[in-house]
Structure 1
Amino acid sequence: MTRYEPRLDLDALSAIDMHVHVEQDGHGHLSLDQELMDASAAYFRATDNRTPTVADLAERYRAAGMAAVVFTVDAGTATGHRPLSSEDIAAECAEHADVLVPFGSVDPHRGSAAVEQARRLVKEYGVRGFKFHPSLQDFAPDDRAFAPLWSALEELGVPALFHTGQNGIGAGLPGGRGLKLRLSNPILLDDVAADHPGLTVILAHPSVPWQAEAISMATHKANVYIDLSGWAPKYFPPELVRAAGGQLRHKVLFGSDYPLITPERWMSDFAELGLKEEVLPGIVKGNAVRVLGLDR
């Protein structure tokens, strides 16, 4: 096994996409069951490769002149579906370290085993952060039972990226396939950020219908950021556009949510928002460099 170490040429890259999904492993196993995959693709009207592997993502982002933070979500306890291996994803990213940055995912319901897996993923495999999806993984991040996991990530010095807001997974299915939107209210992460000030907390997506909460948290707490993935920018709430171009210009991060939205479509829409030219480099690359520790 080769431990991941980034080999990004930051000067040559036009952008760093902070939110990209590995949807299939090298054996054809999918990250979610087929019903959830189909519902999500229909919700986003996805037209690109819906089930990219790590190798697919490396080829795509290398051709685009961008880097990508890639991950899966381990929701094994909540869904009963065997997750993709974060260890395998990290090992494969080591072969494409010029364009890919691996995040791990652990199942919070596994308690101390999740903590040990997180430590191993950072120390042995070199992952640079972790992805969580409270609705899909069926957990409330402010529950004190999960504090040891957040403490471990704080100690390891890696960011935690949380899905927030409206959910494409399960959309349109009876009962949303049991996924509870309230678990993705960003305010549940305010306790996490307050109790673990050394942990970088990234709120993924425009947090509709709780956009004001997300902006308030990112304004109030130095360790809270917002990634702008999962929505075509032309649909961003006006208050998010104002904040991204103003007081939060150093706290927002480009993310596409590929393969559900292509980075090219995101960039094209984003250019039409009318933000000042001087804030764009930070949003599409500079802020991510700092959050990922690539400037150290």
Structure 2
Amino acid sequence: MTVDREFDIVDFHLHFQIGADQTIRDAECTAGMHPGGDHERAVRSAGSAPYAEQWRRTWSFPDPEPPSADRAGEADRWAAELRAHRIRRAVFVTGGGNDAVADVVDRHPDLLLGFAHHDPFAPGAAAELERAVVERGLRGLKLFAPLLRGPVDDESLDPLWATAQRLGVPVLVHVGHYGSAGGLSASPHDSPNHLARVARRYPELSIVVPHFGVQHVQELLFAAWACPNIHVDTSGSNQWVRWMPYRLTLDDLFRRCYETIGPSRIVFGSDSSWFPRGYVTRYLDDQLRICREMAMPDDHLRAIFAGNAERLLGLTR
């Protein structure tokens, strides 16, 4: 268990059973990840299994449990897990559809928050975001840019971005490699440059890019330099650094982001998503260690690990 934190933690990035999320599976098929259907999916999963097993062994993670249909039980289990590790609030960015994730987080509204995650190119996407936020209490929008049928700066999405800006909710947009080993390595729609064009058109819209932008870290830093409404989320193991053609570590990522965009636009996330691993305190501990070794003052630590998320989500003490 994490000890000696001395301040609250607000986690901006968790998932409910992402591997069993039908909304994500449908998007993967639309993006051409499984052209051969379930057979092709099974072959790809078998081929990538050694990488996944090696990763779990490296991090001392157990094998994931089979997905459960008991969503209420999953919510209760996550609530107990988060309280045990003293996480004050946690945002689940996917969960099987907007109403599904809203139902789950409503079981523990003092602790769990949720994001909308519907197809932005679907008819009525802007109206669905408004419904999800106003009627169901969701706090933002999550998109996987590699899985979209077009770039996020497509003008047909302007009503969606205008709605998010008016409602004051953040948009979390994954760019870069999707799906770990055996996943989608590249997409024409996932460049931070697309996000920068949206950010310039909607300067009051908060855009957050998870996992330090994956392989697009350089483009993300330049986009954030150009657009003060672009933020970086730290979530996950960030094992993608091993595949870069030059040496890059999590320490390097924190230092470059801290030195260039500052502490007010770095947002902590764990990317916790399955049991029995549960809440990944390992990621939190490592990131806290790095920030403390960089001699960050306490107010910067509080901003990165709680305050920035609170501001983006419209939370009050």
Short-chain TM bin = 0.7 to 0.9
**Distance in 2 (alpha carbons) for counterparts of 1:23 and 1:65:** 22
**Greater alpha carbon shift after TM alignment, 240-249 vs 130-139:** 240-249
CA deviation map 1:230-269 (0-9, x unaligned): 2359932725423226642111000111127853111221
**Distance in 1 (alpha carbons) for counterparts of 2:62 and 2:149:** 29
TM alignment of 1:106-117, pairs within 5 A: 106-111=118-123, 113-117=124-128
TM alignment of 1:82-231, pairs within 5 A: 84-111=96-123, 113-168=124-179, 171-172=181-182, 176=184, 180-231=186-237
Q: Which has the larger radius of gyration?
A: 2
1:143 Cα deviation (Å)? 1.3
Q: In the alignment, what sits opposite 1:251? A: 265
1:166·1:207 contact (CA, 8 Å) conserved in 2? no
Q: Cα–Cα, structure 1 residues 235 and 57, in superposed 2: closer, same or farther, change >3 Å?
A: farther
Report the TM-score when normalising by structure 2: 0.73
Q: In the alignment, what sits opposite 1:42? A: 52
Query: Percent identity, aligned pairs only?
Result: 28
Q: In the alignment, what sits opposite 1:76? A: none
CA deviation map 1:112-166 (0-9, x unaligned): x212211111111111111000112343111112111111111221110000222
Q: In the alignment, what sits opposite 2:94? A: 72
Unaligned runs of 5+ residues in structure 1 are 1-11, 74-83
Aligned length: 268
Q: In the alignment, what sits opposite 2:81? A: 60
1:168 Cα deviation (Å)? 2.4
Q: In the alignment, what sits opposite 1:242? A: 256
Q: Cα–Cα, structure 1 residues 219 and 24, in superposed 2: closer, same or farther, change >3 Å?
A: closer
Q: Per residue, is there more helix in 1 or in 2?
A: 2
**Greater alpha carbon shift after TM alignment, 54-63 vs 29-38:** 29-38
1:184 Cα deviation (Å)? 2.0
Unaligned runs of 5+ residues in structure 2 are 1-5, 26-37, 69-73, 240-247
CA deviation map 1:254-291 (0-9, x unaligned): 01111278531112211332222412221111111111
**Distance in 1 (alpha carbons) for counterparts of 2:84 and 2:64:** 15
Q: In the alignment, what sits opposite 1:265? A: 282
**Distance in 2 (alpha carbons) for counterparts of 1:277 and 1:241:** 10
Q: Secondary structure at the match of 1:226?
A: strand
Q: Secondary structure at the match of 2:92?
A: strand
**Distance in 1 (alpha carbons) for counterparts of 2:10 and 2:63:** 19
1:24·1:31 contact (CA, 8 Å) conserved in 2? no
